[in-house]
Amino acid sequence: MADSAHADTVTIDQLVDWLSRFRDLVVDKQAYLTELDSAIGDADHGSNMARGMKAVMEKVTAAGTPSGVDQWGKLVGMTLVSSVGGASGPLYGTFFLRIGTTAGATSTLDGASLSAALRAGLAGVVSRGNAEPADKTMIDAMGPALDALDESLARGDDLAAACDAARAAAESGRDATKPLVARKGRASYLGDRSAGHLDPGAASTALLFTALAGAVGGKAT
């Protein structure tokens, strides 16, 4: 469990743990993500994400614990942009870069600060990908996750509970992409044939929030 003294904050160590857990999940689910992408994309989302997150953890391990969230976000974001092919690298890279820029040099984030940083990350993804809700993209999982996080915090829940609510909403958002017709990316080339398949970016985003919930709550993912 998270240290009770930090129940309402997220530390740099927990952010690093978030990355480690996300790396483990995308490596474990690499074939699953690739299978999803083979139906409506280039069949490389799993391999791209696994390669990118392995590179991230190698860089983080070599550099040591970052002094602030800004340094953490820059390291993660730039590594993803440079090591992940396709659209995933720029999108996930922008997400983490915006988190770091928004949070700044602090080494801890409270609920409001975490939400603001994640919202900035989402805004970066939206701007970079020029996508809207229901376009069958990763924001269909990310948007609901952040709404759930904010709603949970507004009820007075602690960060662990709020992040778990975000995880559940991301998974629901992922599942809700199945009947949608893709309007962005390679999947959009299929038109109506893209319906009936989960969006691989939404699937990896659900893993991202599963990892966050695990890191903040101190639970196995």
Using the predicted structure, report yes or no on whether residue 218 has a pLDDT greater than 90.
no
What was the pLDDT predicted at 138?
95
Q: Indicate the range of 89-93, 141-145, 188-192 predicted with least confidence.
A: 188-192
What was the pLDDT predicted at 1?
35
Buried b or exposed e, range 177-214, using 16+ CB within 10 angstroms: beebbbebbebeeeeeebeebbbbbbbbbbbbbbbbbb
Which residue range forms the structural domain that includes residue 79? 4-217
Which tokens belong to 89?
């690298």
The mean predicted confidence, pLDDT, of the chain is 90
Q: Do 202 and 173 form a contact (C-beta atoms < 8 A)?
A: yes
Q: How confident is the model at residue 135 (pLDDT cuts 50, 70, 90)?
A: confident
Q: How confident is the model at residue 43 (pLDDT cuts 50, 70, 90)?
A: confident
Average pLDDT over residues 147-171: 97
Which tokens belong to 98?
């915006």
Task: State pLDDT tens for residues 66-90.
Answer: 999 999 999 999 999 998 877 888 9
What was the pLDDT predicted at 193?
61
Using the predicted structure, report yes or no on whether residue 169 has a pLDDT greater than 70.
yes
Q: Indicate the range of 57-71, 90-104, 124-138, 164-178 predicted with least confidence.
A: 124-138
Percent of the chain with pLDDT over 70: 90
Average pLDDT over residues 157-175: 97
What is the DSSP secondary structure assignment for residue 182, as one 8-state letter?
P
Which tokens belong to 48?
């791209």
Average pLDDT over residues 185-214: 83
Q: Do 55 and 79 form a contact (C-beta atoms < 8 A)?
A: yes
What was the pLDDT predicted at 65?
87
Using the predicted structure, report yes or no on whether residue 23 has a pLDDT greater than 70.
yes
Q: Indicate the range of 4-13, 34-43, 162-171 predicted with least confidence.
A: 4-13
How many structural domains compose the chain? 1
The rounded distance, in Å, linking the Cα atoms of 141 and 103 is 22
Q: Do 170 and 142 form a contact (C-beta atoms < 8 A)?
A: yes
Q: Quick one: CA torsion of 176, 181, 182, 188, rounded to 10 degrees?
A: 160
The rounded distance, in Å, linking the Cα atoms of 40 and 178 is 11
What was the pLDDT predicted at 6?
43
**Bridge partners, residue 40, by sequence:** none
Which tokens belong to 122?
């989402």
Note the pTM of the prediction, 2 decimals. Answer: 0.92
Identify the CATH number of the domain in which residue 165 sits: 1.25.40.340
Type of residue numbered 14: Q
Q: How confident is the model at residue 184 (pLDDT cuts 50, 70, 90)?
A: low
Contacts of 171 (CB under 8 A, 6+ apart): 141, 206, 209, 210
Using the predicted structure, report yes or no on whether residue 202 has a pLDDT greater than 50.
yes
Three-class DSSP category at 11: strand
> What's the residue count for the chain?
221
Using the predicted structure, report yes or no on whether residue 5 has a pLDDT greater than 80.
no
